Amino acid sequence: MANIVIIGLGLIGGSLARDLRRCGHRVTACGRDAGRLAPALKLGIVDAVEPDWQVAVAGADLVVLAVPVGRTREVYARIRPHLTADTPVTDVGSSKCSVVRDLTALCGRLPAQFVPGHPIAGTEHSGFAASVEGLFAGRTVVLTPTAETDPAAEARVAALWLEVGARVLTLSAEQHDAALALTSHLPQMLAYTLMGQFAEFGQGKTLAELAGSGFRDMTRLAGSDPAMWHDVSLANRAQLSLALRRYMERLGELAAAVDAGDSERLLALFTAAQAAHHRLPAA
């Protein structure tokens, strides 16, 4: 049994609280607005809500920052004076270079006890109301320790995620950000853009009747929180920009083949993509 403090009780923080408590840990929730955390206490999803972050963090065996990635620095600055020297801290942000950069700027170097993390889990829904038990079962959690990271802190954070059923994958922050730009941040931009084009087209009711399961899959992510994605797209700006540019090149090539009626090229593009899809292991 460990005392785990979760700061931010949205989809990820709330789901993690549910699982950790089920595993027998004592979970304390902190947040900007203690009133908003009250339902979690009432529902028995956390053991305590601590409005005084100093008190919460001082007694923690491990601290999880489950706040929007753009708020990581500000929240870490607030808890930093109250952390004991060996308390591991981790985060759940979707970009990792920005977190390393932000905390390095704040502290002079990345704190040895800070283990950057990112659970690849979630839905298009956000907030505590969307939190569920078992969200991380079978999912991948990426940790991006640096040479300065304390191996004991890393092991403690890894153990926490393993306990809730996740797989742990260790990458550099750069590897993580390049890969996630492609597998998560670019797809999110594509979904928003498609949904925007649909809205612009007009004929809403008729058009909606023509939107089959394919369209719905391709726009499900457009239901996601704009504020969160604003943060992520700017935090991982460099890699997202590269992924977007490459995508536009590829789509431009496809459009040119459509315009030219280039059967061979279209078949080659579609066939290669289908083959890649067949190689993708089942989730």
d(CA 204, CA 245): 30
* Parallel/antiparallel/unpaired status of strands 140-143 and 117-119: antiparallel
Size of the residue set binding a second copy (CB under 8 A): 95
For residues 117-136, which are near a second copy according to CB under 8 A? Answer: 120-124
**Helix 263-279 vs helix 237-260: angle between axes, to the nearest 10 degrees?**
140
Q: Which of 39, 139, 172, 174 binds a second copy (CB under 8 A)?
A: 139
3-class secondary-structure state, position 162 = helix
Neighbouring-strand partners of residue 64: 6, 90
54 binds a second copy (CB under 8 A): no
Question: Which position among 43, 152, 162, 248 is part of the footprint of a second copy (CB under 8 A)?
Answer: 248
Binding of a second copy by 105 (CB under 8 A):
no
CB of 151: closest distance to a second copy in angstroms?
Answer: 22
Within 67-86, which residues bind a second copy (CB under 8 A)? none
Cβ partners under 8 Å of residue 24, min gap 6 = 1
Q: In 3D, which of 120, 176, 174, 115 has the Cα closest to residue 148?
A: 115
Helix (H) or strand (E) holding 63, with range, is strand 62-65
Q: Smallest distance, Å, CB 36 to a second copy? A: 21
Residue among 81 and 212 whose Cβ is closer to a second copy: 212
Q: Is residue 271 close enough to count as binding a second copy by CB under 8 A? A: yes
For residue 28, the surrounding DSSP H or E stretch is: strand 26-30
Query: In the bound complex, what is the minimum distance in angstroms from residue 67's beta carbon to a second copy?
Result: 18
Express the helix, strand and coil content of the chain in percent, nearest 5 each: 60, 10, 30
From candidates 61, 150, 163, 225, binder to a second copy by CB under 8 A: 225
Query: Interacting stretch for a second copy, rule CB under 8 A, among 1-9, 52-60, 80-88, 225-233?
Result: 225-233
**138 interacts with a second copy by CB under 8 A:** no
Q: Could you tell me the two tokens for 272?
A: 């290669």
Nearest CB to a second copy, comparing residues 87 and 126: 126
The answer to whether residue 280 forms part of the interface with a second copy (CB under 8 A) is yes
Is residue 240 at the binding interface for a second copy, with CB under 8 A as the rule? yes
Spell out the residues 6+ positions from residue 228 whose beta carbon is closer than 8 angstroms to its own.
Answer: 68, 126
Cβ proximity to a second copy, 84 vs 183, nearer residue: 183
